[in-house]
């Protein structure tokens, strides 16, 4: 009985694989597979590098507690939102971030560490995540939406989560 089960399982796996291969080989079917979206294309690398330069302006502005460093990374129309301690939506225009960065309790944090942990690019739209530790004593997970406007990547929205201090 075990051998019959394994043969059936193997047969099912082979048939499923053939179906997937047929879909990938059939561009008329309207299906695309991951193999058609290779990240090895030079344009992807170029766009990724441009986006990380924008995100690094944000990181540097946080570390130095200077909005003037991060401001060029954002659209003038950008927004920022989070959930406050009461569980309610809080935020609004990106100017709120700039005002917060330039005033206490924010202070320069050269010891802060940040990592760009994800960048997802589709044409002229992208999303990214940055995790930061010890930015003025806070730790954040920031999620950004970016658009490529007139040939330049710009952040149009930021949402974030503030982690509880250990």
Q: What is the full per-residue pLDDT of the chain (166 aa) written as tens digits?
A: 444 433 433 333 333 343 333 333 333 433 333 444 555 566 789 999 999 999 999 999 999 999 999 999 999 999 999 999 999 999 999 999 999 999 998 999 999 999 999 999 999 999 999 999 999 999 999 999 999 999 999 999 999 999 986 6
* Integer Cα distance of 20 and 38 in angstroms: 18
Q: What are phi and psi of 164, to 5 degrees?
A: -65, 135
What CATH number matches the domain at 40-163, 3.10.450.50, 1.10.10.10, 3.40.50.700, 3.80.10.10?
Answer: 3.10.450.50
Strands (E), the chain: 74-83, 89-93, 113-122, 125-135, 138-149, 152-163
* Residues 122/41, Cβ–Cβ less than 8 Å: no
The whole-model pTM stands at 0.74
Q: In this structure, how many other beta carbons lie within 10 angstroms of the beta carbon of residue 77?
A: 10
């Amino acid at each position: 009985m075990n051998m019959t089960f394994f043969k059936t399982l193997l047969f099912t796996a082979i048939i499923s694989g053939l179906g997937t291969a047929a879909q990938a080989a059939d561009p008329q079917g309207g299906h695309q597979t991951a193999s058609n979206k290779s990240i090895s294309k030079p344009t992807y690398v170029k766009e990724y590098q441009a986006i990380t330069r924008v995100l690094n302006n944000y990181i540097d502005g946080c570390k130095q507690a200077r909005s003037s460093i991060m401001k060029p990374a954002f659209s003038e129309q950008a927004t920022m939102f989070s959930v406050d301690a009461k569980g309610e939506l809080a935020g609004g225009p990106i100017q709120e971030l700039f005002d917060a960065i330039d005033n206490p309790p924010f202070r320069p944090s050269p010891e802060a560490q940040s990592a760009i942990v994800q960048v997802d690019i589709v044409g002229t739209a992208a999303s990214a995540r940055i995790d930061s530790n010890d930015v003025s004593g806070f730790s954040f997970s920031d999620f950004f939406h970016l658009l490529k406007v007139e040939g330049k990547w710009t952040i149009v929205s930021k949402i974030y989560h503030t982690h509880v201090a250990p």
